[in-house]
Amino acid sequence: MDLTEWQAPAPFDCKFLGSDATLSMPRRRLAGQPVAQDLFVYSLQRINGSVHLTFMNGTYLPVVSAEVGDTMGACNILTEVTATAHARKTPLKATVFSQCRRTGTVNYTPKANDVFRFSDATWSWQEDIGQVLLTGQRTLRVIVDPVNYTPELLSSSARCPVLGGGSNEFTVGFDIEFDVYTGEINSIKPGLDCFVC
């Protein structure tokens, strides 16, 4: 493990340990590129007044070369212009609710006056026979302009309260995840930073 690639856990004073505690440490980068799924977990337990490490588990790739990081960066060819153009031709689906009872669906195709925000690439991996497949994702966040609201959108899973906002503050939007190399849409999630019903 290269600890510079990992998020250091917050200091933990063992005198505050009750009977046990489970702590985790996520990986931030792999060969200089942001990575999403690597995690190291460990458990501490107080036994007869002493603190013992009782469990360790991790799901992570070993350290890889800078050349792998360069290749990952070279594969990140999706631009914000391309992602936005693709999104503006894609109907985005959300579930419509009435008091948390599903009543149907609504499709919304983004408009030019909506707000588009493009994230940096994040990489994930999966094991294949004798190899590891790395895939990069970027998310295009679509924030619907209030002039484009419809009654169906306002009753849908695309509407979310604003974090830290007042009871009447909300946004309507979608997160569209793209593959950084192919430009294909991996997933569309209605709602920004919330789950409805």
Can you spell out the DSSP letters for 105-170?
A: EEEE---TTSEEEEPPPEEEEEEETTEEEEEEEEEEEEE--GGG--HHHHTBTTEEEPTT--TT-E
Report pTM: 0.84
Among 65, 95, 116, residue at a domain's last position: 65
List, for residues 8-21, the tens digit of each pLDDT value: 888 888 888 888 88
Q: Are residues 111 and 168 in the same domain?
A: yes
Cα dihedral sign, 174-177-178-180 = positive
Among 40, 65, 90, residue at a domain's last position: 65
Q: Are residues 105 and 61 in the same domain?
A: no
List, for residues 143-189, the tens digit of each pLDDT value: 999 999 999 999 999 999 988 777 789 999 999 999 999 999 999 99
Closest to 31 in 3D by CA, of 139, 127, 132, 117: 132
Q: Are residues 96 and 129 in the same domain?
A: yes
Q: How many domains would you assign to the chain?
A: 2
Can you read off the two tokens belonging to residue 195? 């789950």
Does 70 map to a domain?
Answer: no
Q: Are residues 119 and 171 in the same domain?
A: yes
List, for residues 59-108, the tens digit of each pLDDT value: 999 999 999 999 999 999 999 999 999 999 999 999 999 988 999 999 99
Q: Are residues 108 and 130 in the same domain?
A: yes
Does 71 map to a domain?
Answer: no
Does 195 map to a domain?
Answer: no
Q: Are residues 97 and 180 in the same domain?
A: yes
Domain residues for 30? 3-65
